[in-house]
Amino acid sequence: MEKNKKISPFVKGLRDGLPIGAGYFAVAFGLGIAAQQTGMTPLQGFIMSFFNHASAGEYAGIAAIRSGAAYLETAMLILIANARYLLMSTALSQKLSPNLSLFHRLLIGFSITDELFGIGIAYPGFLDPFYMYGTFLTTTPLWASGTAIGITAGNILPDIVVRSLSAAIYGMFIAVIIPPCRTNRNITIVVLVSFALSWLMSVIPAFASISEGFRIIILTLIISSLAAFFMPLPEEEVTTA
Amino acid sequence: MNRNILAYLFVMSLVSFIIRVLPVTLIRRQIKNRFIRSLLFYLPYATLAVMTFPAILSISENPLCGAAAFAASLLTAWFTKNLFLSAIFGCAAAFLTALLI
């Protein structure tokens, strides 16, 4: 903690973004291979990933392009696949100083990904915009260039390597949610119930047809609502940021 | 075809942008409601857990690869609390499992 005080939030963001960016690169590479099938050029892949930077959302978009979906249908697909960012953006609004300018809010909102949200929400106190910009600058260019290189390189790397590297993103999710379980029993319950229900919904035929995006929204809302109802934060913690 | 793809990319990017910035720009006050604050506290854990499992089992045709990655990342995260190590050991476990089967 003493050591961390000496480096600026921006540099800390750049540094914290690196492992995420490394994972992004691998996943974006696979995304690029999928994008290649739509006839997308590397530059178009770069543009898509720079502005969308969301794996589920981009996969949905690629599927829409491939099937020649209408633009309105594409918009709906993106909305569904990315709707969890509405929730994350709402949660992040509570991590910002009330005086933070619209400009910073737009940029912070634009930078939201599952992983950057994860480390942004873990930032002590009010979220420093420059911390987010640091993480954005080491992750999104890697995400975007990973897509472009995936389109270009196609299947040069052995499949086994690409598949193994795609475990990285989950390793990072796990590193965000598991350490707090050591000290907070309620978080442990939420994580275990989430794992279990998510697995059940993917196995039970009636639910398995629900898109991944919708499954994430429904389960997230139900589980966190129940947790908030049955295990509310103590009043003291409620009043501090 | 090229122009078509650019139109798709524009639609995708626009919707993604609106979804991301709308709440964070419109909600400026600190939310006092205890339920909502608790909800927002638990939300990231639920979302990330739901997105991780069972999706991690699908990284390879054989779910064992993902299961090995899952176990390795869980243990590493629990004992080291390190994001990078958790990812690396997860990848390594998936790769080694793929080599063995």
Each domain of chain A, given as residue ranges in start order, spans: 4-177, 178-241
* Pick from A4-8, A169-173, A181-185: least confident: A4-8
CB contact under 8 A, B19 and A86: yes
Q: What separation in angstroms does the CA of A187 have from each of A184, A210, A232, A233, B31?
A: 6, 26, 11, 11, 21
| A179 vs B5, B31, B81: nearest CB | B81
Selected residues 64-93 of chain B with any CB under 8 Å from a CB in chain A: 65-66, 69-70, 72-74, 76-78, 81-93
Tell me which residue of B22, B17, B13, B97 sits closest to B62, measured CA to CA. Answer: B97
A71 touches chain B (CB under 8 A): yes
Distance from CA of B62 to the nearest CA of A (A): 11
CB B52 within 8 A of CB B65: no
- Has residue B39 got a pLDDT over 50? yes
pLDDT attached to residue A225: 94
Residue B59 CB neighbours (<10 A): 27
Over range A153-161, report the average pLDDT: 71
| B24 vs A16, A92, A232: nearest CB | A92
Over range B3-7, report the average pLDDT: 84
C-alpha span between A206 and A191 (Å, rounded): 23
User: What confidence tens digit (pLDDT) does each residue in A24-79 have?
Assistant: 887 787 678 778 777 889 999 999 999 999 877 787 788 788 778 888 888 887 88
Distance from CA of B59 to the nearest CA of A (A): 6
Residues of A in contact with B34 (CB under 8 A): 232-233, 235, 238
User: What confidence tens digit (pLDDT) does each residue in A209-232 have?
Assistant: 766 666 777 888 899 999 999 999
Over range B12-17, report the average pLDDT: 95
Q: CA triplet A164, A166, A172: central angle to 5 degrees? A: 115
B101 touches chain A (CB under 8 A): no
A43 touches chain B (CB under 8 A): no
CB contact under 8 A, A112 and B20: yes
Selected residues 13-42 of chain B with any CB under 8 Å from a CB in chain A: 13-17, 19-32, 34-42
CB contact under 8 A, B5 and A197: no
Residues of B in contact with A186 (CB under 8 A): 42
* Ramachandran class of A68: left when φ > 0, alpha when ψ lies in -120 to 50, beta otherwise: left
Q: What is chain B's mean pLDDT, rounded?
A: 88
Give me the helices (H) in chain A, please: 9-36, 42-52, 55-66, 71-82, 84-93, 102-111, 114-121, 129-153, 159-165, 168-177, 185-203, 205-208, 212-230, 235-239
Higher pLDDT, B76 or A123: B76
Q: In terms of CA atoms, which chain A residue is nearest residue B82?
A: A175
